[in-house]
Structure formats: structure tokens, C-alpha cells
Amino acid sequence: PPGQAADGRPATGSAGSWTDFTAHPGYRHLALMRQGASRLGLTDPFFKVHEGTAGATSTLEGRTFINFASYNYLGYSGDPRVNQAARDAVERYGTSVSASRAVSGERPIHQALEQALAEAYEAEDAVAFVSGHATNVSTLGYLLGPRDLVLHDEYIHNSALVGTQLSGAKRMPFPHNDAERLDALLERHRHRFERVLIIIEGLYSMDGDAPDLDRFVALKQRHDAWLMVDEAHALGVLGERGRGLYEHCGTSPGDVDIWMGTLSKTLAGCGGYIAGTRPLVEILRYFAPGFLYSVGMPAQVAAPALRALELMRAEPERVARLHAVSAYFLAQAQRRGLDTGYSIGAAVVPVIVGNSPLATRLCQALYDRGINVQPIVYPAVPENSARLRFFLSCDHTQEQIDRTLDVVHQQLDGTGTLR
């Protein structure tokens, strides 16, 4: 309530006035969430402090946990070779490029990273932004306008939704992976709009499944639309060489108009990128606000991301290990009767338990046994599909997986959520 902090203590500020932030709807929402959790005896599962590198294991509260909450898919965050690239970059360039790239922030490492990203998609060019979220917001916000239409999978990431909103384009979601429904929407609405953009993801981060790229390419060609694929979770994960959705589906990467991805998952860094034709990349470099009006990526972020990308190319055995770990996790979870939703067993496997308190309680029970995994609760997913989301890495062992799934199974036995 206004005048009281979300933790129950009296708030500072002028209680009762709208200028007091405790009167903000967001604060009331937070207070309600905390009251509900405290009534159910649940501890807050968010903002846990990891004290070192987070990979297949991680240290929290001074203890080592088996960790499934970090997207360090190929183990490159914390890899000494990647760390060294960051150290060398700081020595050479300092800790900031001290300007937008357009006005004196440009460094050779930016160009080297972008060239390598373009090569990964066999594209003409690529541009790297300082944040993955900002990449989608700025790219979509800039490219589209009120006379345009965005058709997107209902499960696309918040950053693409926010970017679409910013653009003023009309937005229509289609049911998850449902190319037929998309076709029907295009049939009905295409003629009313100047430009149409279809947005899908390479690997869906809440469900761990991938779309059939060929079907979406066929639709975009038939209806004269652009196709954008967000590869945040697909790079390093899908395909034998980790090249992502196009390799997984055997599609030519040139059939996609806008490849988007992040440096924060497989590439062990922070930031995002767009790869595509030279005109696309050029207009983003000169006009996308989140690129032009933002500082250039620090060299000690760009250099390790480039090193991780080079290592990914040189070490397909890590990708193969990630595939084996993921397939093992999925098979063992299903063998225990757990509901893994649509997961295809590629780095992301949900265990759907069906309500937020149960997911949070299960996460706590695992934590008490030395296993760290994040619950995904309403509103991130519908309440009846609240889940634990397991991020796998090539470094997880069968023993860690068996131990974890045994605890999940024991905890869920008797709750009616086993298949």
C-alpha cells in the first residue's frame, strides 16, 4: 500500500501523494507479489548472487551448486583464452571507447567482430550494438513505421515487442510455430500495408523448440514480406557447427532478410548484432538511434566475443557435446514422466509444473539440495504453464543431470504433474 515499502517497512517520501513512488502501480504490483509469496512461505527466487563464473557449476552463498540457470552454452564465459582476449583489449584500448562509433568511438576490433559475424551468416555485413535488447528495440523502431505490419510468433522476446511498439507498426501475433495461421493472416492483411515483417526466433528461450525455417521462407517469398530471425539462443546451439537455425534446417542463410542475435549467450559477452545485406547494415549504422546515439561497444566486450566466435568455429566438438548433454537431459526427463513441453533437446529444456507457487517451491527444494535453476512464472508464461527452465552447457555431466532429475521427480511425485 502507499506509504509502505514493498518489504513492509514505512516508505520515505510524501506518503499519499502521487509523487511518492510507493503509489506507482508497479510498486503496488510488487507489494502484492511479495505478500502472496510470503503467505505461501516462498522465498524470492530472483536476484540471487553468483560469486564467480556461472557455468555448469556456480558459487552462491559460498557453496558450489550444479547450475542450470546461465546461458553459457559452450562454456566460453570463464574460458582462459576468452578472458585473455578481454585483458589484451583493455591493455590496448582502455576500458571505454569514449564516444559513439560514428564520432571517434570506432576501433579495429569492432570491424573484426562484425566481419566475423557477417561470415557466420554468409552475409554481406553485420553491425554490433551494445545490448541485445537494444538491438531489437532500435532496429525495429527505426526500420518500420505506422503504415507497416509486423506478424510475429506469439512467443517472441520482449525486446522485439517493444521495438515493434516503438515503430508504430500494426502488430499481429500468430500461434506458436503455426505457419498456416501466419499464411492466413498474410492472405487477409498483406494488401493493406506498405511493408510487412515476419519475426520468429531460432530457438525459443522458454520452450527450447525451433521453427521450420523453410516454411517461413516460403511464406515471406509468396507474400512479399521481410523475414527476421532472432538467433539469441540458436547461435552455438543449433546445427553441427553451431551456425544456428539455417544450419539446423539446411536452409540458405541468404533466404532470411534480417538475422539478429546476441553476444550474451554462446559468445560470452554482452551486446547484440544484425547481419544481412550491406544496405540494411549501412542504414542501421547511420540511423538506428540505439547505435548512433549510444557509446560504442567496449573493446574488452568485443574482443572476447570475437575470440569465442573463432573458438566456436574451431571446436565443433563442443557443439557436439552440448547436443549430447541436451539429448540426454531430455530423454532422462521424459523417462521420469516430466512434462518437457515442445523442447527438441537443444540447450533449453523446460519442466512444466503448471502453477507459479509450485514452480517456485520446486526451485527452492532443488536449491536446498545444491542445485540452482530458475523458475519461470506468470506473467513470463501463462500461469498454467509455470515451469523450471533448464539451460544446459557442454560441461554438464550425466551424473549432475541424473541427480537433478531424481530430485525433480521425487518432489513432483504425488502432485499430479507427472505424465
The residues of the shown chain that bind ligand PMP, judged by CB under 6 A, are 131-133, 136, 157, 159, 201, 205, 230, 232-233, 262, 264, 272
Are the beta carbons of 383 and 310 closer than 8 angstroms?
no
Q: How far is the CB of 297 from ligand PMP (least distance, A)?
A: 12
Q: How far is the CB of 110 from ligand PMP (least distance, A)?
A: 17
* Cβ distance to ligand PMP smaller for residue 332 or 372: 372
Tell me if residue 39 falls in helix, strand or coil.
helix
- What is the Cα–Cα distance from 233 to 366, expressed in whole angstroms? 25
Neighbouring C-beta atoms of residue 359, cutoff 10 Å: 29
Q: How far is the CB of 104 from ligand PMP (least distance, A)?
A: 25
Q: How far is the CB of 365 from ligand PMP (least distance, A)?
A: 26
Which contiguous run of DSSP H or E holds residue 126?
strand 125-129
Residues 6+ apart with CB under 8 A from 82: 76, 268, 304, 307, 308, 311
* Cβ distance to ligand PMP smaller for residue 131 or 177: 131
Are the beta carbons of 198 and 226 closer than 8 angstroms?
yes
- What is the Cα–Cα distance from 392 to 274, expressed in whole angstroms? 25
* Cβ distance to ligand PMP smaller for residue 157 or 307: 157
* Cβ distance to ligand PMP smaller for residue 264 or 404: 264
* Cβ distance to ligand PMP smaller for residue 157 or 243: 157
Are the beta carbons of 334 and 340 closer than 8 angstroms?
yes
Nearest to 70 by CA among 327, 372, 286: 372
* Cβ distance to ligand PMP smaller for residue 120 or 412: 120
Residue type, 176: H
Omega before residue 25 within 30° of 0, cis: no
Q: How far is the CB of 133 from ligand PMP (least distance, A)?
A: 4
Q: How far is the CB of 132 from ligand PMP (least distance, A)?
A: 2
Counting other chains too, the contacts that 174-182 makes at CB distance below 8 Å and 24 or more residues apart are 176/204, 176/207, 176/342, 177/153, 177/209, 177/211, 177/212, 177/342, 179/211, 179/212, 179/215, 179/216, 179/219, 182/151, 182/216, 182/219
Give Cα 160 to chain centroid, integer Å: 11
* Cβ distance to ligand PMP smaller for residue 156 or 217: 156
By Cβ distance, which residue is nearest to ligand PMP?
132
CA 119-259-287 angle, to 5 degrees, is 100
* Cβ distance to ligand PMP smaller for residue 138 or 159: 159
DSSP state of 40: T
Q: How far is the CB of 363 from ligand PMP (least distance, A)?
A: 19
Active site residues: 205, 233, 265
Q: Is 419 exposed, middle or buried (0-12, 13-18, 19+ CB in 10 A)?
A: exposed
Are the beta carbons of 133 and 272 closer than 8 angstroms?
yes
Neighbouring C-beta atoms of residue 382, cutoff 10 Å: 9
Q: How far is the CB of 202 from ligand PMP (least distance, A)?
A: 8
Are the beta carbons of 405 and 68 closer than 8 angstroms?
no
Cell of 3: 506509504
